Amino acid sequence: MRTLLVGAGGVGDAIAKIAARRSFFDTMVVTDYDLARAERTVAWITERHGPDVARRFSADRIDASDPVAVAEVARRHGATHVMNAVEPSFVPAVFAGALEAGADYLDMAMSLSEPHPTDPYRRTGVKLGDHQFAAAAEWEARGRLALVGMGVEPGLSDVFARYAQDHLFREIDELGTRDGANLVVRDESGNEIFAPSFSIWTTIEECLNPPVIWEADRGWYTTEPFSEPEVFRFPAGIGEVECVNVEHEEVLLMPRWLSAKRVTFKYGLGAEFISVLKTLHTLHLDSVTPIRVRSATGPVEVAPRDVVAAALPDPATLGPRMTGVTCAGLWVTGTGTDGRRREVYLYHVSDNEVTMRDYGSQCVVWQTALNPVIALELLATGAWQGTGVRGPESFDAVPFLELMARPEDEGGYGQEWGLEER
């Protein structure tokens, strides 16, 4: 396996650092538009693991907005797999470039949606992933696999959903992804500050777009942002957090392969975060349409959302100032295999202190990065096989969860996952 890693930001950097401890691949080329970022990742691996491990890694520059450029870099390095770790706005280009280069493809966020032009809070327009699923027949005809939505959410949550259907439930009422944390970021003086732990560009996209819900008797439909608030109890000391509907890939993926009466995604944003997002929307600072502004060198055009992202701290740099844990999981209700009513929460917790100590990566990006590395290993060993455009829930969950939880000294990743009866 020769992997082209596109993007050396927080998640891409963590993917390479996690992969450095594994032996299933031959080479990994870390690429970024900013070559220095890719080189920093390789330098960290060299310093931490030594030259014997680092010789499997190299750095290169890439333009992820250009499918021709992506294909050229992939071919030049003989990539068998392209791992997309850049913003979802670049998905179409990296996706097309991988296919053109004859490589398999993985991502953690799917092609973007477009709200319905006249009825955005009841009807779907272009859904997340529609662009990619429209190309499924071509990927299958070429014998290539595009594994989409293979992060933590989506990704691990979808693996949990497949496990629940195959091993825990006879009939599922709801597959409800629920995400919460007790993370705090402080400034140099110890004061708590507003600093999103994941890409604010992506967060705005997810949280201000109309959330999607799936129900067996009506299909996919939308609601208003932050709808249907509920208090959900998270494990690992997080406790009760108010969660709201957010647009997310699980709702678009799970119904394609799994049977449930309802599929939802709710995120524990918190009142302050919701207030900030609403303000950004009111001021049109969430827009991706460039506007003309004055600068010291004359008028320039810039997208307001890019300005917001540039003004906030890079999530990849927050680790040293962050404390707490983040929990990603799936709440499932229905009829158990014994015919009795059952309700469970399957989850994984990532502790910032541990991920910073072992990987130099803050816990949110590290938890996202863990799962595509596990998936790459399953593809390398043949435990997962397939062609076309597929989500994580289309594969057997057991090999993934077993490899994830197995101790590192026994060849696994040493990441226990939980199953809590409710």
Backbone angles phi, psi at 52, to 5 degrees: -65, -40
> For the residues 219-235, what does the mean pLDDT come to?
95
Inform me whether the pLDDT recorded for 137 exceeds 90. yes
pLDDT digits (tens, 9 = 90+) for 356-375: 999 999 999 999 999 999 99
Mark whether 62 and 11 lie in a shared domain.
yes
> For the residues 304-329, what does the mean pLDDT come to?
86
| 32 located within any domain | yes
Could you give the percent of the chain with pLDDT greater than 90? Answer: 81
Contact at 8 Å (CB) between 379 and 1?
Answer: yes
Question: What gap in Å lies between CA 84 and CA 133, rounded to an integer?
Answer: 17
Contact at 8 Å (CB) between 5 and 12?
Answer: yes
> For the residues 115-144, what does the mean pLDDT come to?
97
Contact at 8 Å (CB) between 199 and 309?
Answer: yes
| 204 located within any domain | yes
| 292 located within any domain | yes
| 138 located within any domain | yes
Q: Would you say the pTM of this structure is higher than 0.85?
A: yes
Write down the pLDDT at residue 208. 86
Mark whether 369 and 311 lie in a shared domain.
no
Inform me whether the pLDDT recorded for 49 exceeds 90. yes
CATH number for the domain including 18?
A: 3.40.50.720
User: In the chain, how many domains are there?
Assistant: 2
Write down the pLDDT at residue 315. 78
Question: What gap in Å lies between CA 118 and CA 125, rounded to an integer?
Answer: 9
CATH number for the domain including 255?
A: 3.30.360.10
Write down the pLDDT at residue 320. 85
Write down the pLDDT at residue 300. 86
> For the residues 42-60, what does the mean pLDDT come to?
97
> For the residues 250-259, what does the mean pLDDT come to?
98
| 186 located within any domain | yes
Mark whether 345 and 387 lie in a shared domain.
no
* Ordered strands of the 145-147 beta sheet: 57-61, 27-32, 2-6, 81-84, 104-107, 145-147, 388-390
Write down the pLDDT at residue 204. 83
Question: In which band, very low, low, confident or very high, does the pLDDT at 260 lie, cut at 50, 70 and 90?
Answer: very high
Contact at 8 Å (CB) between 369 and 18?
Answer: yes
Largest Cα–Cα distance in the chain? 71
Mark whether 227 and 329 lie in a shared domain.
yes
Q: Which amino acid is at 195?
A: A
Write down the pLDDT at residue 166. 98
| 422 located within any domain | no
Which of 321, 340, 359 is the last residue before a domain boundary?
A: 359
| 71 located within any domain | yes
Classified as helix, coil or strand, 132 is helix
Classified as helix, coil or strand, 199 is coil
Contact at 8 Å (CB) between 265 and 246?
Answer: yes
Which domain does 184 fall in, by range? 156-359
Question: What gap in Å lies between CA 228 and CA 245, rounded to an integer?
Answer: 6
Mark whether 116 and 95 lie in a shared domain.
yes
Angle formed by the axes of helices 363-381 and 397-405, nearest 10° = 120
Give bridge partners of residue 333 from the DSSP assignment.
Answer: 174, 343
Which of 310, 335, 359 is the last residue before a domain boundary?
A: 359
Write down the pLDDT at residue 421. 97
| Strand runs labelled E in 72-168 | 81-84, 104-107, 145-147
Residue with tokens 């970024």: 32
User: What tokens were used for 167?
Assistant: 């091993």
Inform me whether the pLDDT recorded for 135 exceeds 90. yes
Mark whether 191 and 336 lie in a shared domain.
yes
Question: What gap in Å lies between CA 380 and CA 274, rounded to an integer?
Answer: 41
| Alpha helices, H only, 117-214 | 130-133, 136-141, 156-163, 200-208
Distance from chain centroid for Cα 275: 24
User: What tokens were used for 234?
Assistant: 């998270």
Mark whether 130 and 185 lie in a shared domain.
no
Inform me whether the pLDDT recorded for 73 exceeds 80. yes
H or E, element range at 184: strand 184-185
Write down the pLDDT at residue 278. 86
Give bridge partners of residue 323 from the DSSP assignment.
Answer: 184
Question: What gap in Å lies between CA 403 and CA 417, rounded to an integer?
Answer: 11
DSSP-assigned letters across all residues of 342-390? EEEEEEEEEEHHHHHHHHS--HHHHHHHHHHHHHHHHHHHTSS---EEE
Mark whether 144 and 164 lie in a shared domain.
no
Mark whether 330 and 399 lie in a shared domain.
no
Question: In which band, very low, low, confident or very high, does the pLDDT at 153 lie, cut at 50, 70 and 90?
Answer: very high
> For the residues 71-79, what does the mean pLDDT come to?
98
Which of 359, 374, 389 is the last residue before a domain boundary?
A: 359
Write down the pLDDT at residue 186. 85
- CA dihedral (319, 152, 28, 198) in degrees, to 10, reads -40
Average pLDDT over the chain, rounded to an integer? 94
| 421 located within any domain | no
Write down the pLDDT at residue 245. 95
> For the residues 215-232, what does the mean pLDDT come to?
95
> For the residues 324-334, what does the mean pLDDT come to?
97
Mark whether 105 and 240 lie in a shared domain.
no
Mark whether 402 and 298 lie in a shared domain.
no
Mark whether 355 and 378 lie in a shared domain.
no
- 154: preceding bond cis by omega (within 30 degrees): yes
Question: What gap in Å lies between CA 151 and CA 147, rounded to an integer?
Answer: 10
Exposed, middle or buried, 285 (CB in 10 Å: 0-12/13-18/19+)?
middle
